[in-house]
Amino acid sequence: MSQVTLHASTDRRHGSSNSRRLRLAGSIPGVVYGEGVTPLPVAVNAKEFRAAVTGGQGLNSLITLDADGQTYIVMAREIQRHPVRGTVAHVDFQVVDPHKPVVTEVPLHLVGDAIEVRHADWEVDQQMFSLEIRTRPDQIPNFVNVDISELRAGQTIRVNDLVLPEGVVAAADPSVAVVATHAGRVAKAVSGPDAAATE
């Protein structure tokens, strides 16, 4: 897992007016927190922050935060965005131990072709697009693949059916559906209204 360095200033003042001034100057107000760490107000350069979290790991990137000479290993957690512009307005940095498990979310990518589902005139319905997992920060995958190539009409892929990388466990309910199937328009028409109503 790649690790990036982000510089932070610790001399920012509290208050909404000071936060606005920081944003106008191209900075993002934030706070560093974690077990055994006194919450520390910081400010980071907006462009540097975007660069730090736009790689394959996204917000799961492991960041070395240099806060005026004090170094913390962190992950970007609570991200507050401007309601209109969508720009980052505030960020919480959680101090983590790279060798101890954390709970986070990763995207789910469908792979393969559900040929049997298509041949039955059914459709694949992805119901979960990200998965909550528990693993060490240095083992967080960029994403988890969901292979639908063996899927059949009427079948469901659940959390406990997913194949996860070594060292990664699902933190979500194992019975929750990730991918389901349902009859398409043609199949419903052939089956009739009674069959459609029982789906």
Integer Cα distance of 114 and 37 in angstroms: 49
106 burial type by CB count under 10 A (0-12 exposed, 13-18 middle, 19+ buried): buried
> Are residues 11 and 89 part of one domain?
yes
The percent of residues in the chain predicted with pLDDT above 70, rounded, is 88
Q: Are residues 46 and 65 in the same domain?
A: yes
Residues 82 and 109 in one domain: no
Exposure string of 39-78, with b = 16+ CB inside 10 Å and e = fewer, is ebbbbbbbebbeebbeeebeebbbbebebeeeebbbbbbe
CATH number of the domain to which 139 belongs: 2.170.120.20
Condensed to tens digits (0 to 9), the pLDDT of residues 49-92 reads: 999 888 778 889 899 999 988 999 999 988 888 777 778 888 99
Joined together, the tokens standing for residue 85 give: 């512009």
- Residues 151, 91, single domain; the answer is no
- The answer to whether 155 and 147 have CB atoms below 8 angstroms apart is no
Structural domain harbouring 185: 102-197
Of 79, 95, 111, the one marking the end of a domain is 95
Residue 83, pLDDT score: 79
Q: Can you tell me the distance from the alpha carbon of 74 to that of 60, in angstroms, rounded to the nearest whole number?
A: 10
pLDDT in tens, 136-163: 998 999 999 999 999 999 999 999 999 9
